[in-house]
Structure 1
Amino acid sequence: MIRSTCVLLSLLSGVFLQQTFAILHLHKLPEEIANSTGAVCLDGTPPAFYLAPAETASPKNTSWVIFFRGGGWCYDADECAERAMTDLGSTKDLSPNVTFADGVLSSDSSTNPFAAYNRAWLWYCDGASFSGDVETPVSAKGVSIYFRGHRILNEVFAYLASDFGFNQATDVLLSGCSAGGLATYLHADYIRDNLLPSSVKRFKVMPISGFFLMHDTYDGAPKYQEQMKGVFEMQNCTNGVNSQCVANHEGEEWRCMFANESAAHVTSPMFPVNSALDSWQMGNIWFGDENCVASGQFQNCTSGQIADLNKYQTDFLVDFTSSGIPNRKGNGMFIESCFEHCAANDAGFSEYSIDGIVLKNALMQWWNSSVNADPKQFSYLPCSLQTQPPHQCNPSCSSTTDSLEQYFKPIATHKEK
């Protein structure tokens, strides 16, 4: 599901890594804490994160990027049991190190303005965007599985504070892509109000590719809504999503599992980054015009198909606007028309542009702005696809390509590409 440039340390030379990539080292929550709190992955293993600490002498040694890993969801107990046997439901077989070549987790200061920060990548192993909490293990396919994502959220932040210096943080950028982007919407205010140390002076959030539409399929079926409602109910997510949203949707609390509903109540300053024609949504929510969005940037589409895609983009923007994000002081946004998913944590971070402003520069202008700034100063919106070839209206989108071959399949879990 996720486009990421995670590269195993063992595949590259140490010198090359030090010069080019951020080396993030694995840390697992101590088993005694995991067992006493019940903060465990689907298979019962302790949760984990990867960390690249800032230099002790650096002026940024109290600045942090906290990034939620993505990886889809499991929609029923059997799928979750299968997922528990993968690295999306377990931490038992994780590599000791990972690396990133681009995005806010990279150590390359020429491309990443956050390169000198402490950078933590939170491992995703609960199947519900860090939101579930079921006390009793569930039996499926002959194994016991645990729905404890919200406990993982609490205990990982506590461990970062007790053992890794997060208790002295002054500046925090919360981010994540895909299911991790959704987690950013769902938990932003909870983290601000409950998990940050009092030393934090600046807290802002950047959800990437996490604004999944509550949208019917091309032929009118509410498939994705039903799937996410099932996740919410199965994993008991009521106390793991935005509390104000839950209060406003009595009897339909499951709606708060969607970014538009939760974001309507988020007061933390945010800068969503998303494609209005997100490739994962094309293959898992909409299911339309498969032949024309199979690869590339829509060059194989007919004029009728382009009209369909522009309609989906319009639906995205209507949903996004109705959340209130574009009108809230301190916010910004970078919504493009590229056929991609999570490319903002890849090459798109340094290459995507709107109105001549590159994504990473737009992000930094917003990051350094007042929490009361006019959101229009930091708002970048997509163009409409062109009727005539090559159709893609944003030339910077050509820097990345995506393929729907893996998306138009009945798959239970969506691993990082």
Structure 2
Amino acid sequence: MLQRGSRSNSFGAMRMLCWWGFGFVGLMFVKLVQGFEDSNVTNMLYYNNNRPLMVGLTLIYGAAAKGAVCLDGSLPGYHFHRGYGAGSNSWLIQLEGGGWCGNIRNCIYSKKTRHGSSAFMEKQIPFVGILSNKAEENPDFYNWNRIKIRYCDGASFTGDSQNERAGLYFRGQRIWLAAMEDLMSKGMRYAKQALLSGCSAGGLATILHCDEFREMFPRTTRVKCLSDAGLFLDAVDVSGHRSLRNFFGSVVALQGAQRNLPRTCTSRLNPILCFFPQHSIASVKAPLFLLNAAYDTWQIQASLAPPSADYHWNWYDCRKNYARCSGPQMQYLQGFRNQMLRVVRRFSRSRKNGLFINSCFAHCQSERQDTWFARDSPHIGNRGIAQSVGNWYFDRVQVQAIGCPYPCDKTCHNLVFN
């Protein structure tokens, strides 16, 4: 359970079960099942002290006829809260995160969870952070039509294949299209403003589908995209290998995602590399905002220093608690931050794009109230995350915010794992 104090959050001992008895793919899957990036968990403290808006699950009943089904063949769904007043013709779509599944065994397990079947999805979820309906919590988007599309395909809404023998349906691309069609029929086609957002695997999906989303609307509609914690890097891990590239390769191959990745990338690179945003962000035509922690905790634990690469468990303490990292380990993490800054260099040259890269040990900051918009939420300079995103979306101020390296940022809400 989360505990407040010194701006750190603890996920509890159960989070560490993933380190035992699993290889890297198993780790990825356990993160998927336990909801590492699940805002329903990370907002526990907020729920204890406030009463957030609870929004019910809507299944897309026309999806099955299009083959747009979850891993287990069940109907996909979303949570929808109508906008009002000045926001009645504005639409915010948030794509849920939840890891990936890259082999048959893990996908079979996943289809028995909320990330693989609507039968296990919560019937209601709280809308907080960027989905909040309160002006004091979400000043720019509180009265918009706000939708959270549930994630149940395991490939960031890109797969389009199946495995009949295992009873698995990899239909992420079809789910994306079915959800968009359903929402268009409910009024989104008349949108004057639209924002596609997502966190983690949903943040990656936001980047991959950004231009598709833009093309669904007239040119007169203001359409932009916000990726939160979706900037996954093709980084070398502590053993000198590329654990995440190997894993993403298995996801792309198993789920047939290659045909649905941006052609501006696949026309010149291996599709596996195109699953990494670093190779496609500069060619996204629609305005795109990247919100990311420079020391993304998911990437530290599952990509940079996963147990499968940490042969002698030298990183065990560091990956749980940044304060326990040695000097050489922090130097290695500073190198990861430098790689991230190099990746966004070309992207940031376009004035239409936005950046907020703070030097925090965090993951997914738009879905949590304490990091999105609160009295002590993270800042770069004198602006927090919600204000920066709003300024960029409404063209009030150009936003290219990059925080100074650790440990100078004192506004972080760093994650600590017990």
TM category (shorter chain) comes to 0.7 to 0.9
Q: What is the 5 A alignment of 1:128-147?
A: 128-134=155-161, 136-140=162-166, 144-147=167-170
Q: What is the CA-CA distance between 1:200 and the residue it aligns to?
A: 5.7
With the length of structure 1 as denominator, give the TM-score of the two structures. Answer: 0.83
SS of residue matched to 2:194: strand
Residue in 2 aligned with 1:380? Answer: 401
Q: What is the 5 A alignment of 1:14-33?
A: 17=51, 21-30=52-61, 33=62
Partners of 1:23 and 1:203 lie apart in 2 by: 27
Residue in 1 aligned with 2:234? Answer: 214
Q: What is the 5 A alignment of 1:271-350?
A: 271-287=289-305, 290-296=315-321, 298-321=322-345, 324-346=346-368, 347-350=370-373
User: Quick one: which amino acid aligns to residue 402 of structure 1?
Assistant: V
Does the alignment pair 1:184 with 2:192? no
Q: What is the CA-CA distance between 1:320 and the residue it aligns to?
A: 2.7
Partners of 1:223 and 1:153 lie apart in 2 by: 28
Partners of 1:395 and 1:138 lie apart in 2 by: 52
Residue in 2 aligned with 1:157? Answer: 180
Q: What is the CA-CA distance between 1:131 and the residue it aligns to?
A: 0.2
How many residue pairs get matched? 371
Partners of 2:37 and 2:113 lie apart in 1 by: 18
Partners of 1:337 and 1:16 lie apart in 2 by: 29
**In angstroms, what is the RMSD of aligned CA positions?**
2.5
SS of residue matched to 2:131: coil
User: Quick one: which amino acid aligns to residue 264 of structure 2?
Assistant: Q
Q: What is the 5 A alignment of 1:53-92?
A: 53-55=82-84, 58-92=85-119
Cα gap change, 1:16 to 1:225, in 2 (>3 Å): closer
Q: What are the superposed Cα offsets for residues 232-290 of structure 1, whole Å, 9 maximum, x if unpaired? A: 111111232212112222xx122111111121320110110001110000011100762
Partners of 1:60 and 1:197 lie apart in 2 by: 17
Q: Contact 1:4 / 1:343 at 8 angstroms: preserved in 2?
A: no
Q: What are the superposed Cα offsets for residues 197-235 of structure 1, whole Å, 9 maximum, x if unpaired? A: 438610011100000110121110111101101111111
SS of residue matched to 1:334: strand
Residue in 1 aligned with 2:244? Answer: 224
Partners of 2:388 and 2:212 lie apart in 1 by: 26
Q: Contact 1:7 / 1:99 at 8 angstroms: preserved in 2?
A: no
Q: Contact 1:44 / 1:146 at 8 angstroms: preserved in 2?
A: yes
Cα gap change, 1:294 to 1:245, in 2 (>3 Å): closer
Cα gap change, 1:85 to 1:4, in 2 (>3 Å): closer
Q: Contact 2:300 / 2:319 at 8 angstroms: preserved in 1?
A: no
Q: What is the 5 A alignment of 1:335-374?
A: 335-346=357-368, 347-350=370-373, 351-369=377-395
User: Quick one: which amino acid aligns to residue 334 of structure 1?
Assistant: F
Cα gap change, 1:125 to 1:4, in 2 (>3 Å): closer
Give me the identity figure in percent.
29
With the length of structure 2 as denominator, give the TM-score of the two structures. Answer: 0.83
SS of residue matched to 1:155: helix
Q: What is the CA-CA distance between 1:395 and the residue it aligns to?
A: 0.4
SS of residue matched to 2:183: helix
Q: Contact 2:114 / 2:122 at 8 angstroms: preserved in 1?
A: no
Q: What are the superposed Cα offsets for residues 57-79 of structure 1, whole Å, 9 maximum, x if unpaired? A: x1210101100000000011211
Q: What are the superposed Cα offsets for residues 9-51 of structure 1, whole Å, 9 maximum, x if unpaired? A: xxx99x963xxx2332211011xx2222100000000110011
Residue in 1 aligned with 2:225? Answer: 205
User: Quick one: which amino acid aligns to residue 122 of structure 1?
Assistant: I
